C-alpha cells in the first residue's frame, strides 16, 4: 500500500521526527525517565486501591461520587484479575 504521508504532507512530518533523539529529547538536553521501583505487584496495588475505595464509599451517603468510587473499585478488581490471568504461565481462560 505504501506510506499515506506522501508528497508535500510527508515533508511536514520528517523534520520534527528527525529532530527528536529519544535519549536526549527535543533540543538535545538529557531527560530523565527514572521510575521508582515498585515494591508490590500490579495486582496487589489494584486490589488495595479497590479495598480503599470501597471503605471510603461506605462512609458516604448515596450520591454520584459514591457510585463512581464503587465503579472504580469494580474496575480495579477486574483489572487485577485480568492482569493475573494474562501473567499466568498457562494462560487459561478466566473462570
Integer Cα distance of 63 and 56 in angstroms: 13
Tell me the pTM.
0.57
Residue-wise over 35-65: b if at least 16 C-beta within 10 A, else e?
eeeeeeeebeebbebbeebbeebeeeeeeee
Alpha carbon distance 14, 56 (integer Å):
50
Three-state SS for 25? strand
**What is the pLDDT tens value at each position of the chain, 95 positions in all?**
555 555 554 444 444 445 555 555 555 555 667 778 889 989 999 999 999 999 999 999 999 999 999 999 999 999 999 998 888 887 666 66
Give the pLDDT confidence of 38-63 residue by residue, as tens digits.
899 899 999 999 999 999 999 999 99
Amino acid at each position: 500500500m505504501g506510506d499515506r504521508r506522501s508528497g508535500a504532507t510527508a515533508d511536514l512530518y520528517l523534520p520534527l521526527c528527525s529532530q527528536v533523539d529519544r535519549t536526549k529529547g527535543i533540543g538535545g538536553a538529557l531527560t530523565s525517565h527514572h521510575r521508582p521501583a515498585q515494591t508490590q505487584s500490579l495486582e496487589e496495588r489494584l486490589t488495595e486501591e479497590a479495598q480503599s475505595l470501597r471503605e471510603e464509599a461506605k462512609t458516604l451517603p448515596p450520591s454520584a461520587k459514591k457510585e463512581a468510587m464503587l465503579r472504580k473499585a469494580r474496575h480495579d478488581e477486574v483489572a487485577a484479575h485480568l492482569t493475573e490471568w494474562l501473567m499466568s504461565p498457562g494462560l487459561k481462560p478466566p473462570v
